[in-house]
Structure 1
Amino acid sequence: MDFKDSIQQLSERIAKQQDAIVTEEGTKNAFIMPMIAALGYDIFNPFEVVPELDCDLIKKKGEKIDYAIMKEENPILLIECKHCKQDLNLHDTQLQKYFVASKARFGVLTNGIEYRFYTDLDKPNIMDEKPFLVVNMLALTDADVEQLKKFSKSYYNEEEILSTANELKYAISIKSILNNEFKQPSPDFVRLLAKQAYDGQITQKIIEQFTPIIKRSVQSIINDTISDRLNVAIKTNDDKTKQEEDSTQNAKEELPDGVVFSDRDSGIVTTQEEIDAYNIIRSILRKSIDAQRITYKDNKTYFVVNIDNGYWWICRFYFGSRKKQICFPTDNYKSKEMFEIETIDDIFNYEDKLIESLKMALRE
């Protein structure tokens, strides 16, 4: 199993098991130790992983770092662990004390779900206040996996990580700033753009006039980008389907009308109607979440719309030849409710249900 598969498998495990973890030790055993192992370190080898490491500068009895990853008898990565339901914002100062007392260049604060990576870019041996990398195991991206891979035993290179850490740190900050500006443009942001579109003096009245215009314009750009990516994704899926058919049948075989993908071995048939229904879901929910996080998986008997290709689903479609049904989870996935629809346009009538299911999936 390669590194990416190991990390994705761990992500799926976390999604299924997080509600069953009731202690910090349980978090370590179920989530954090498997992550250390996935990075290629032997958790039972004291030359590679040291639990409960004492730090020389810490005088208070019982103050120990949960894990230290070692290389050539020196710590290279400190890991401070918390329970999987703990807010990490309440615990970053504790890691700072360990960091200053160690020769390690990197520190990690984690609750087994979110991993925050720190170093000392601002002042030598003083841990930065902000992490240069944040990875959420329930919302993994390919970029996250590649950054995690740099900390694995086989690929670890301190200088290479430090060379990109500064850029990553500011990228996180800028992304947060832009996200806030796009949601609610500040007067300075409005003034900056208005100067390029308006010839007169930028007064408070002009700022108030341009604020909603800029907000709508930004949303329009985002919507256009989403639409373009959807078209590319559908085209890519069609191309992939064609390649798979050519390789298995040694001849081009046209799909029936209304079918965009068919797998003879699994019996899965994806129809254009299902893809259209999926796109309707995205159009409804993109006001509440980045549309790229809304994904789907087709099964033999139903089509499911979920978050980040993960375990938590928003709705399911059952599109038969005689009737169409849409299904929503209820009671924190302990049960579900089904509704019959005549056409996929009826999905718009269930906007409240979709938003409720989205909130449930994000909570989980």
Structure 2
Amino acid sequence: MEFAERLAALALKVKNQREAIQTEEATKNAFIMPFISTILGYDVFNPLEVVPEFTADVGVKKGEKIDYAIMRDGEVQILIECKKSTEPLRIEHASQLYRYFAVTNARIAVLTNGESYHFYTDLDAPNRMDDKPFLVLDLSDIDETLLPELSKLTKDVFDLDSVISAAEELKYVGQLKRAIAAQFREPSDDWVKFVTTRVYEGSFTQKVREQFTPLVTKASKQFLNDQVNDRLKTALGSSSFPSIPAEAPTGAVTSEAVVEADLDRDTETETTLEELEGYQIVKAIACSEVKPQRVVHRDAKSYFAVLLDDNNRKPIARLHFNGKKQKYLGLFDAAKVETKHAIESLDEIYSHAEAIRESVKAYA
């Protein structure tokens, strides 16, 4: 699997198992050791590469331990401090990292709960860990622009100098993106005033603030949707994405004859953003069993199909998203009989992950 695919597979595991992991030790075993091994490429069972419970005396503090130290050529390169998966990360959790960073040769420190990974270095003062991370990796919402830099910390292509040289830009770009995202989610009074005074010529009174706050929120969401749709239209070479009204039938239907009849590449079909997002979720789940390039999609008039090997006799799932209200996820049993499951949001596809994997296994 490619780097991004391995990361997506781990992210899916975290999503499915996070609530069942209640201790720090379980978090290490379920999430963090796989990250060190499958993502960064280090052998967690080789003490020349990964040292658990790494100890270094720090001033008057003797025998303190850091959860993991990643070694290269006998020198500590990366320190990792872990917290349990159900606990949000706070800067207070990094106290041991601060102390260890100053007494080892490490230039990278990582604070993680298995889902979020905060990467620190020493941009502000030499050999002193910064207060803010230069890179934040969130497995619940992976920012693909960070992957090239993250890959530089892997065993095969370890390039610390390149990471450090890019760290300052990464740090501020990341902080700016998170600040902008926060304003889009819940605009502050300053942001509302900043935007409003560019379209409203009167005095910015409390009444005007109350009037424009929901308008700024609505406009921000519509702007983001427009940007996503524009990019999708460009990628697909289409100028519009109208939804195709269709009645969503219930119950089970036999698939093979219907698949052959309906999965012809019909030029009248229009692919929606929601269908492509659903396809990416199904594909991420299926990738635990087969290579990602084997999972493809075809759009038909009445549904959007996800297939193995581009073969309409190997349906993995169908997305019935053309109805005006209710969405359905179609799944198949061993006899290729489809059963439709009502879903309210795309995230609910993950609750059917095991059934999707079983379909793939049956064909593979």
Deviation at 1:325, TM superposition (A): 5.0
2:13 is matched with which residue? Answer: 13
Q: Give, in whole Å, the separation in 1 of the partners of 2:208 and 2:10.
A: 52
- 1:60-71 matched pairs, under 5 angstroms: 60-71=61-72
2-side partners of 1:79 and 1:216: how far apart?
41
Q: Distance in 1 between matches of 2:19 and 2:193?
A: 47
Contact 1:120 1:126 survives alignment (8 Å): yes
Partners of 1:126 and 1:319 lie apart in 2 by 54
Q: Distance in 2 between matches of 1:12 and 1:159?
A: 31
Q: CA deviation at 1:199?
A: 5.6
Indicate the residue corresponding to 2:299 in structure 1: 270
The residue that corresponds to 1:30 in the other structure is: 30
Query: What is the correspondence of 1:207-226 to structure 2 with a 5 Å cutoff?
Result: 210-226=212-228
Out of 129, 134, 144, the residue aligned to residue 132 of structure 1 is: 134
Give me the TM-score of the superposition, normalised by structure 2.
0.64
Q: 1:315/1:120 Cα in 2 relative to 1: closer, same or farther (>3 Å)?
A: farther
Asked whether the equivalents of residues 302 and 316 of structure 1 are also in contact (C-alpha less than 8 Å), the reply is: no
Deviations 1:181-234 (A, max 9, x none): 234433433443445445666666665565454444333322322332343354
Structure 2 counterpart of 1:147: 149
| Number of the residue aligned with 1:167 | 169
Q: Which letter does structure 2 place at the counterpart of 1:138? A: S
1:267–1:105 distance in 2 versus 1, CA, 3 Å: closer
Percent identity of paired positions between Structure 1 and Structure 2:
37
Q: Contact conserved, 1:7 with 1:145, CA < 8 A, in 2?
A: no
For 1:304 and 1:222, how far apart are their aligned partners in 2?
A: 24
1:166, CA displacement in angstroms?
1.4
SS in 1 for 2:57: coil
CA distance in 2, matches of 1:224, 1:267: 26
> Could you give the per-residue CA deviations for residues 284-341 of structure 1, whole angstroms, max 9, x where no partner exists?
xxxxxxxxxxxx95682642599xxxxxxx9643499xx995523xxxxxxxxxxxxx
Closer, same or farther: CA 259–180 of 1 in aligned 2, 3 Å: closer
Q: Distance in 2 between matches of 1:201 and 1:324?
A: 59
CA distance in 1, matches of 2:42, 2:236: 40
Partner Cα distance (1:139, 1:33) in 2: 20
Call closer, same or farther: CA 1:259–1:208 in 2, change over 3 Å: closer
1:149 positional shift = 0.5
Summarize the Cα distance change of 1:177–1:139 in structure 2 as closer, same or farther, 3 Å threshold: closer
| Correspondence list, 1:227-266, <5 A | 227-235=229-237, 255-256=265-266
RMSD over aligned CA atoms reads: 4.0
Give 2:265's aligned amino acid: L
Does residue 300 of structure 1 match 2:315?
A: yes
- State the match for 1:85 in structure 2: 86
Structure of greater relative contact order (alpha carbons < 8 Å, 6+ residues apart): 2
Give 1:156's aligned residue.
Answer: 158
Q: What letter is aligned with 1:128?
A: D
Instruction: Using the TM superposition, give the Cα deviation of residue 71 of structure 1 relative to its aligned residue in structure 2, in angstroms.
Output: 2.2
User: For residues 8 and 356 of structure 1, what CA distance do their matches in structure 2 show?
Assistant: 15
SS of aligned partner of 1:50: strand
SS in structure 2 opposite 1:88?
coil
Q: CA deviation at 1:79?
A: 0.7
User: Aligned residues, how many?
Assistant: 288
Residue 140 to residue 315, structure 1, CA distance change in 2 (3 Å): farther
- TM score, norm. by length of structure 1: 0.64
> AA paired with 1:11?
A
Contact 2:119–2:133 (CA under 8 A) maintained in structure 1: yes
* Per-residue deviation, 1:358: 9.4
Q: Which amino acid aligns with 1:10?
A: L
Asked if the contact 2:297/2:306 (under 8 Å) is kept, the reply is no
SS of 1:37's equivalent? helix
| Alignment-derived partner of residue 53 in structure 2 | 52
Question: 1:161: Cα distance to partner?
Answer: 0.8
Whether the 8 Å CA contact 1:58–1:98 is kept in 2: the answer is no
Partner of 1:103: 105
The one-letter code of the counterpart of 1:143 is T
On the 8 A contact 1:266/1:300 being kept in 2, the answer is no
Q: Shift of residue 108 of structure 1?
A: 0.4
CA deviation map 1:47-83 (0-9, x unaligned): 3222222223154354111111112322111011222
| Partner Cα separation in structure 1 for residue 25 and residue 214 of structure 2 | 50
Change (3 A) 1:272 1:190: same
Q: Which runs of 5+ in 2 are unaligned?
A: 239-263, 272-293, 308-313, 333-337, 353-364
More divergent stretch after superposition (72-81 vs 58-67):
58-67
Q: Verify the 8 A CA contact 2:111 2:117 in the aligned structure 1.
A: yes
**Aligned partner letter, 2:102:** V
Change beyond 3 A, Cα 1:28–1:216? closer
Distance 1:267 1:150 in 2: 30
Q: Structure 1: 5+ residue runs without aligned partners?
A: 237-253, 276-295, 307-313, 329-352
